[in-house]
Amino acid sequence: MIVYRIAKKKWIKDLSGTGAKLTGSRWNPKGYPVIYCAATSSLAILEKLVHVDFDLLPDDLYIAELEIPDAKMEILKPSDLPKNWNKYPAPDKLKTLGKHWLIQNKHLILQVPSAVNPNEMNYLINVAHPYIDKIKLKKTYPFKIDDRLLK
């Protein structure tokens, strides 16, 4: 399966999960590295737009296409989550779920619904999993946010 991530050119090939480790996010507390990806490049862009002020968007964004194996995937559906799972700020319960998933280290991938568009999926990659070397960076390419989205 191909998944997508968006980042500054400097970080696009970095698959260490350090950014998420330093800041924490919806599905991981600080101190726990993970790579956040989306099912489509469009969703990756949407996820970027909801997390960065338009005025602060970098002008050197890239999209990476990653090939991930399907075999080692855990799936969380909205029915598995607290009622307010898609609110901002995210409920702490989601960080707890993500931390538990990372500590168990049973699955390379965690599929979760996107809070921005619950009809699409995001994929978290556990960088500490033994199968991390099965992730293949297929290609990267520059991406500029269309100015019409910034109105």
pLDDT tens, residue by residue, 10-27: 999 999 999 999 999 999
**What residues contact 17, with CB distance under 8 A and at least 6 apart?**
33, 34, 35, 125, 127
> Each residue of 90-149: pLDDT tens digit?
999 999 999 999 999 999 999 999 999 999 999 999 999 999 999 999 999 999 888 787
Three-state SS annotation for 54-106: HHHCCCCEEEEEEECCCCCEEECCHHHCCCCCCCCCCCHHHHHHHHHHHHHCC
Q: Is the pTM of this model over 0.75?
A: yes
pLDDT at res. 57: 79
Largest CA distance in the chain: 44
